[in-house]
Amino acid sequence: MRSEEALFARTAHLFAAASEVACAADDLNTWATSKPRPRPQLHGDKRIRKMFRPGVLLDPRSAAHLHELDQVGVDVRISPDEINETIILDRRIVILAGELVGATREFRVFDSADVARSVSTLYDAAWRVASPLRTYDRSFAELRALAPRLLEVLASGSKDETAARELNLGVRTYRRRVAELMTALGATSRFQAGVRARELGLV
């Protein structure tokens, strides 16, 4: 299926009927729709688990939305490791997100018991080592505050020594912070960090 709208039009009844929903995504854009996000609601005994990469916490609006989810009973965790962008419904339906090409993303839906079991096992393993949102966010606060200025100096192309002086940091501290920011953004290079920051709307 192409587009989030097509996906949810075809699977809305599955979400409504599910008693357990597990979701993994790099950021809030993966499973977004064109409609504004409503205040999250939990119905009955539905269990909802959501796992994200740290980069989602760099955007204040996304971070606020995750905390809102947490407050209404959604179990939110942050994983610094690479995760497959996935939704699992009742451990029997699996939705996998494909690459974003232009403004379109493809999605695949599986109802195979073997696929559901394998993907659920991988998800559970990642979930066990991920950190609860509140715990991770406390340790992430300093980097989040520094991130906008870090991204500015990275975009300027300044040498590390110059950038460190601008931020009133030692060179080693500056390089450590850049490495932490790259990890949060899921980037393996400074250039890729800039691209990822633009994708997230941070610059």
Q: How far apart are CA 65 and CA 63, in angstroms?
A: 5
pLDDT digits (tens, 9 = 90+) for 66-104: 999 999 999 999 998 888 899 999 999 999 998 777 777
Q: Which tops the pLDDT comparison, 186 or 41?
A: 186
Residues paired with residue 105 on neighbouring β-strands, in sequence order? 100
Q: What is the mean pLDDT of residues 111-125?
A: 96
**136-199 has the same fold as 4-132:** no
Closest CA to 25 of 92, 89, 87: 87
Place of tokens 């989810």: 69
For residues 76 and 65, the answer to whether their CB atoms sit within 8 Å is no
| pLDDT score of 123 more than 80 | yes
User: What pLDDT is recorded for position 68?
Assistant: 92
Across all residues in the chain, what is the average pLDDT?
86
Confidence of residue 157 (pLDDT cuts 50, 70, 90): confident
Q: How many Cα atoms occupy the beta-carbon half-sphere of 17 within 13 Å? A: 7
Token reading at 146:
């520094």
Kindly tell me if the per-residue pLDDT of 137 is higher than 70: yes
For the chain, give the percent of residues with pLDDT over 70.
94
| CATH C-level class of 136-199 | mainly alpha
Closest listed residue to residue 196, CA positions, set 103, 77, 86, 58: 58
* pLDDT, position 32: 64
Q: What is the pLDDT of residue 90?
A: 96
Amino acid residing at 37: R
pLDDT value of residue 39: 44
Torsion angle of C-alpha atoms 36, 141, 52, 10, degrees rounded to 10: 0
In this predicted structure, what is the pLDDT of residue 114?
97
Specify the CATH superfamily of domain 4-132.
Endonuclease Chain A (3.30.870.10)
Average pLDDT for 126-141: 91
3-state DSSP assignment of residue 36 = coil
- Given CA atoms 26, 3, 86, 10 in this order, what sign does their dihedral have? positive
Per-residue pLDDT at 20 exceeds 70:
yes
Domain ranges for the chain: 4-132, 136-199
Give dist(CA 133, CA 28) in Å, integer.
15
Answer whether residue 38 shows pLDDT above 70.
no
Task: Classify burial at 128, counting beta carbons within 10 Å of its beta carbon; exposed 0-12, middle 13-18, buried 19 or more.
Answer: exposed
Q: Look at residue 41 and tell me whether its pLDDT is greater than 70.
A: no
Burial bucket for residue 107 (CB in 10 Å: 0-12, 13-18, 19+): buried
End-to-end CA distance of the chain: 31
